[in-house]
Structure 1
């Protein structure tokens, strides 16, 4: 196995938090237990996916608020919250509140664009303003201004017996510096850099036609590496700008024979989507191959990944639809075997 020139600095994981629609309580409790386990194992961060009209976490802020009272060190974030579903002002209030409750441990990530199945949900989400809503990157810029404490109300002062502020309250200093942007295209990557945001890269990206190799292949790692380089080029912090990579990584060091068989079937079923972009004519969305094997095998594959070599932080995604015991095994192997194989050390 190659020896890293620079060790991995931060190790995190991402979960969707599945639950039974007829009995949602156990699934939500499992998410909290997974975050607690992550802290016990030394993970630096636990990230939550965001789902609506599905049996996955629809309110990650509520989950993080609960987890903040059951943990003490681990950072918590979203990867990502589609901001088209949210009111930026209310989101700023909730984020600051939970950040304060957690002692400054929130690292929220966002994306923009119309919500999925927009035509089916817009009447319920924005019954009077759907056609007027700005679902572009400006929505994130507006949220950032509110989190940073800019004046957003035209009134401040005393009204009767009550005091009012022109900025969103509460205000949590430092939160704005911990906001991430989930980018998959070169255009959105450059925009995130120019805003001074942190960059979340994942196992899905949107390539350009020019990214197609001369032999007709799509090289996911090479495309992602170019996007990371573009981000650092345009970010005020340059090479010091924070970038985190999120791939689906499944270590099998302590997995049972039955678990390994299920993991292999899962990866095999998903592999065809990594061959070419999915979507309408023209480049759609391209997926990275899932990485399955022992921690030593995974480390070798990651060191051969051009994009991984450009980052010092990772948020490895837990596969969908696995059992709680599977997540315990995967997280334990990540923290005790894979992380150290990548040069990572848990906090003292």
Structure 2
């Protein structure tokens, strides 16, 4: 059995073929999509976060709105770039969104990937300390965020406050119990996957990772997941770890599917560079008739290792078509692979 969710980049553009031509279209349709996904039995609604782009950015208003409109679907991100964040304010935002959803937030964070502008986090008022990299800064902010999510008081109260204080040091409010155990780390390398386990975060692994041995993508990703699970066990964590992988999977069941995605399936991975001197392996896309799709996916080792599968969706094609895409996987593919 697997938890199956969707992952939306939240694109929009004033293009005649797009159903999402404005930011408002994308935000409102994201809410509608999450509501409809819950109705067909999907387990998760996850959203990407990118700055300086015509894509979803600040996630918490959207997460809170989805939480208010739904009842049981998990709501998450994949991922929030911590280089851009104020950990203190983020604790408050995340706590509020989690309480609105009654404890359904599954928050994916990371040190971030290359963005639309050069060192965009500087425009947000942040820069690494002397001798540190932006990746160091992102990880340190993540640890600060995790620490304050615990709900332990740390701030000295004012002896003459506007409102009466409880005894002792004060914590950030609103506090949502249990949220600390529902934070995920987006890891592109084996080392950061191990680091995530050591710090008690679940693991998100996307459709690319750093190429560490030249093997096919799904094998490298499966190796990363096994290292993560070993590190989690070694750390002696009390709650169970979760692992998600993202995939582009399209079951071709009608002419519209074939028109959109009939040429999208890739028979192999690709290799390239996402940062200077950092070679990466990019996982293949899957697009085929259901019977062929089932055979291909059965050999994906990383999907087998993961408990959660996030299906990347073409959000620009609108809510109805995306629900068709997701329903096709649930109906024609998931049962045959034992996911349902």
Normalised by the length of structure 1, the TM-score is 0.84
Q: Which of residues 235, 256, 281 is equivalent to 1:286?
A: 281
Give the gaps of 5 or more residues in structure 2.
15-20
Post-superposition shift, 1:321? 4.6
Counterparts of residues 242-253 of structure 1 (less than 5 Å): 242-253=242-253
Post-superposition shift, 1:24? 2.5
**Correspondence for 1:264:** 262
Post-superposition shift, 1:114? 7.3
Deviates more, 1:332-341 or 1:54-63: 332-341
Post-superposition shift, 1:240? 4.6
Taking the aligned partners of 1:79 and 1:131, their CA distance within structure 2 comes to 23
Taking the aligned partners of 2:216 and 2:298, their CA distance within structure 1 comes to 15
**Correspondence for 2:195:** 191
Work out whether 1:303 is the aligned partner of 2:295. no
**Secondary structure, counterpart of 2:272 in structure 1:** coil
Work out whether 1:18 is the aligned partner of 2:1. no
Pair 277,163 (structure 1): closer, same or farther in 2 beyond 3 Å:
farther
For 1:221-251, what per-residue CA distance to the aligned partner results, in whole angstroms no more than 9, with x for missing partners? 1111110110011103599521111111112
Taking the aligned partners of 2:118 and 2:63, their CA distance within structure 1 comes to 30
Deviates more, 1:21-30 or 1:55-64: 21-30
Q: Is the 8 A contact 1:11 1:339 kept in 2?
A: no
For 1:134-171, what per-residue CA distance to the aligned partner results, in whole angstroms no more than 9, with x for missing partners? 62412111100111113332x13653342455211111
**Matched positions, count:** 323
Pair 298,246 (structure 1): closer, same or farther in 2 beyond 3 Å:
same
Post-superposition shift, 1:19? 2.6
Normalised by the length of structure 2, the TM-score is 0.86
**Secondary structure, counterpart of 1:246 in structure 2:** strand
**Correspondence for 1:162:** 163
**Correspondence for 1:215:** none
For 1:152-211, what per-residue CA distance to the aligned partner results, in whole angstroms no more than 9, with x for missing partners? 32x136533424552111111111111100001011011001111100111111122xx1
Q: Is the 8 A contact 1:84 1:113 kept in 2?
A: yes
RMSD: 2.5
Q: Is the 8 A contact 1:46 1:76 kept in 2?
A: yes
